[in-house]
Amino acid sequence: MAPPDRDSPPPSPSDPDPSALRMRIDRFRLALGRHFVDKQPIIDLMTVCAVAQEPLLLVGPPGTAKSELAVKFQEALSLGPGDYFEYALTRFTEPSELFGPMDLDALRAGRFLRRVQGKLPTARVAFLDEIFQSNSAILNSLLTLLQERKFYQDGEAVPSRLRVLFAATNEIPDPGDLVALTDRFPLKIACNPVADDRFLDLIDSGLASQSARDLGQRPWVEGHATLDDFEAAHRHLASQFAWRGESADGAPLRDRDRFFPEPLLKELARLLRTLTREDGLVVSDRKVVKLYRLLRARAWLLRGGAVTRDDLRLVAYLGESQDELALLEEKVPRLLGLS
């Protein structure tokens, strides 16, 4: 068997058993879902993205729990000091507010260094509200951070600690200069108001949540999983993605040979072609690779094994606009025979 790719993080000797790890993360997502009304699918997707270490965009009108989902998710992880960064952007937000102010002593010496402690580059989990309010200076820095997990200090790329990023927007604007930023989010999910038939549940849940806050309590922090567990799960999957082997007749084997049945891969390709041809869905090469990783992460989290037809539901979150998201939410399950 060939060695793992050198850029893939090796499994840590201290990493827990993958089955036990998966069970803890599964309990985490289900427990968190009990503190919301009709938000379990969003929490499930947040959990999958956290395992895959891919950013997720929550899209919906004000008051639909986008911020609360992100805040309670990170609180349930029981993060350490400085591990979480949260910010609401406006068109007046300056880069220093996210990436730290310039170090004046270094500047006097001719070096352009930012004091990043406590800011976005040093956080492990982050939530950026109204991300599309970014100005061009912030936009360029976010592109590098989201894609490469790096930021620049005095012209040199420095690794970021960021592992999990959730962002929110009331609406997805026309692409324009933001097309590169929207493409950095492989998945986007609509966060809609609670349905009328859950009216009383919404009142009960909202009162319980606010009362807990007022009393200094956080009942959603149940200790099922930590961020270290999510990172260990990510390393486990990365080691599988890097696996290389040979069949009995000497043919090369890869991750997809073990965990993504060929008929299902063909089904995925047909699904994407259909949506591209009929609805103009644009799926970049980068997003195809990220989608594979996310499908595998979902399959591992929910069943611990190979990808199934049900996992292909993730294609419904590939939309680049609210109209596309609404269309795919209805059409993808129907095309898959899952509606």
Q: Is residue 268 part of a domain?
A: yes
State whether 195 and 80 are in the same domain. Answer: yes
Same domain, 172 and 314: no
User: What tens-digit pLDDT sequence spans the chain (339 residues)?
Assistant: 333 333 344 555 567 799 999 999 999 999 999 999 999 999 999 999 999 999 999 999 999 999 999 999 999 999 999 999 999 999 889 989 999 998 888 888 888 889 989 999 999 999 999 999 888 888 888 888 888 899 888 888 899 999 999 999 999 987 666 788 888 899 999 999 999 999 999 999 999 999 999 999 999 999 999 999 999 999 999 999 999 999 888 889 999 999 999 999 999 999 999 999 999 999 999 999 999 999 999 999 999 989 999 999 999 999 999 999 999 999 999 999 997
Residue 142 belongs to some domain of the structure: yes
Among 171, 188, 205, residue at a domain's last position: 205
End-of-domain residue from the set 205, 233, 267: 205
pLDDT for res 176: 65
Q: Is position 248 within any domain?
A: no
User: Is there a single domain that holds both residue 77 and residue 192?
Assistant: yes
In which domain, by residue range, is 195 found? 36-42+52-205
Domain annotation covers residue 68:
yes
Q: Round to the nearest angstrom and report the end-to-end CA distance of the chain.
A: 41
- Residues forming beta bridges with residue 59, ordered by sequence position: 169, 190
Q: How far apart are CA 53 and CA 290, in angstroms?
A: 10
Q: Are residues 60 and 163 in the same domain?
A: yes
pLDDT score of 6:
34
What CATH number does the domain containing 177 carry?
3.40.50.300
Q: Do 199 and 257 sit in the same domain of this protein?
A: no
Are 68 and 195 in the same domain?
Answer: yes
- Using a 10 angstrom Cβ sphere, with 0-12 exposed, 13-18 middle and 19 or more buried, the burial of residue 4 is middle
Same domain, 176 and 56: yes
Give yes or no: residues 179 and 258 share one domain: no
Number of compact structural domains in the chain: 2
The answer to whether residues 194 and 258 belong to one domain is no
**Do both 128 and 198 map to the same domain?**
yes
Inside any domain, residue 231? no
Residue 240, number of CB atoms within 10 A of its CB: 18
Give pLDDT tens digits for 210-244. Answer: 999 999 999 999 999 999 999 999 999 999 999 99
Q: Is 37 helix (H, G, I), strand (E, B) or coil?
A: coil
Q: 125 and 227 in contact (C-beta within 8 Å)?
A: yes
Rounded to whole angstroms, what are the CA distances from 18 to 47, 222, 233, 238?
16, 21, 7, 13
Handedness of CA 256, 329, 71, 120 (dihedral sign): positive
**225 inside domain:** no
Note the pLDDT of residue 107: 84
Per DSSP, the three-state class of 210 is helix
Q: Are 200 and 109 found together in one domain?
A: yes
pLDDT at position 9 is: 47
pTM of the model: 0.92
In sequence order, what are the residues at sequence separation of 6 or more whose Cβ sits closer than 8 angstroms to the Cβ of residue 15? 21, 232, 235, 236
Residue 199 and residue 329 share a domain: no
Tell me, yes or no, whether 17 lies in a domain: no
Is the residue at 14 inside a domain? no
